[in-house]
Amino acid sequence: MFVRVSMCVSVFQSLLFEAAGWTVNPVTGAVGLLWTGNWHVCQAAVDTVLHGRTLWPIGELIDGCLMTSKLGNSSDNVQDPIKVHQSKV
C-alpha cells in the first residue's frame, strides 16, 4: 500500500489513535470510546504515548462499554495506573 507524502501525518495520527484506543479499551477500541462519549480517554491515551509513558487497559468495562460515571472527565485512569490502583485498594 502506498500513501502520498501529504497523507503521511494523517495516516500516522489515525493509526496512533486506533492503537491507543485498542490498548486502553481492548473490547471496542477507539470507536467504542467515541460511541460512549469517552473520547477524552482516547485523547489522553495518545498524549500518554507521545509523552513516553505506558498505557494500561481500563478496568471499568461492563459489556464492552465504559462506565462514564466512574471515569468522569479525568484522564487519570490512562496516565497514572498506580494512582488508579491505589484508589481501588
Pairing of strands 65-66, 61-62: antiparallel
Q: What angle do CA 46, 23, 19 make, to 5 degrees?
A: 60
Cell numbers 513516553: residue: 52
Q: What is the pTM of this model?
A: 0.61
Domains of the chain by residue range: 8-88
Amino acid (1-letter code) at residue 3: V
Per-residue pLDDT tens over the stretch 58-87: 875 444 454 444 444 444 444 444 454 445
* Cβ neighbours of residue 50 closer than 8 Å, sequence gap 6 or more: none
Convert the pLDDT of each residue in 21-59 to its tens digit.
Answer: 999 999 899 999 999 999 999 999 999 999 999 888 887
The confidence score (pLDDT) of residue 63 equals: 45
**Whole-number pLDDT of residue 89:** 46
